[in-house]
């Protein structure tokens, strides 16, 4: 009888430890589905991936497109933004915003630890803290802040 109780207690212990809830991956920053360039904040209406997932972008409601140019398909983590004239390597990314009308390109300057990438069920989320960007046109002498917070749809 004692042996039977021992095995019942052992089985109960083994099964109760094997049925614990698994911990999920830590959540990334909150995602608001917005792009901000200068003083204009727009709602993200679509997203895309190109070049095997190395380029991820978001389009807003007719105002802006923001493109993230990773060296390869990104893994979850925090990335440094590098100046657009510098090749991105490892945990680095280049970022460019396109204003649709009038067409203006804004290139992000270097910013450490500015982009956080998470991956959930095969969909990327990207949150970029405000970084300084300069327009491509040399006639415009104004830098702006740009930021993003979106998930792939």
Q: What is the DSSP string of 70-87?
A: -SSS--SEEEEE--TTSP
Dist CA 122 CA 70 (whole Å)? 17
Q: Are strands 34-37 and 144-151 parallel, antiparallel or unpaired?
A: antiparallel
Is the C-alpha dihedral spanning 61, 63, 65, 66 positive or negative? negative
Structure confidence at residue 61 (pLDDT)? 82
Taking residues 5-10, report their average pLDDT.
37
What's the pLDDT band for 139 if we cut at 50, 70, 90?
Answer: low
Structure confidence at residue 90 (pLDDT)? 96
| Percent of the chain clearing pLDDT 70 (strictly above) | 78
What's the pLDDT band for 91 if we cut at 50, 70, 90?
Answer: very high
Sequence-ordered list of residues with C-beta below 8 angstroms from that of 142, at least 6 positions apart, any chain: 135
Taking residues 79-83, report their average pLDDT.
96
56 pairs with which residues across the strands?
Answer: 49, 68
Please choose, from the candidates 114, 45, 40, 48, the residue with its C-alpha nearest in 3D space to the C-alpha of residue 83: 114
Q: DSSP letter at 25?
A: P
pLDDT digits (tens, 9 = 90+) for 30-44: 789 999 999 999 999
Q: DSSP letter at 62?
A: S
């Amino acid at each position: 009888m004692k042996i039977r109780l021992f095995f019942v207690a052992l089985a109960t212990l083994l099964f109760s430890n094997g049925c614990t809830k698994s911990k999920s991956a830590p959540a990334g920053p909150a995602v608001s589905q917005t792009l901000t360039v200068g003083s204009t904040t727009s709602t993200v209406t679509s997203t895309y991936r190109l070049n095997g997932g190395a380029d991820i972008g978001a389009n807003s409601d007719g105002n802006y497109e923001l493109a993230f140019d990773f060296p390869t398909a990104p893994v979850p983590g925090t990335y440094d933004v590098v100046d657009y004239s510098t090749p991105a390597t490892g945990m680095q990314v280049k970022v460019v915003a396109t204003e649709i009308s009038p067409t203006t390109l804004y290139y992000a300057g270097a910013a450490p630890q500015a982009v956080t990438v998470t991956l959930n069920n095969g969909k990327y989320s990207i949150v970029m803290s405000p970084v300084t960007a300069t327009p491509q046109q040399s006639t415009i002498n104004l830098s702006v802040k740009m930021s993003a917070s979106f998930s792939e749809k």
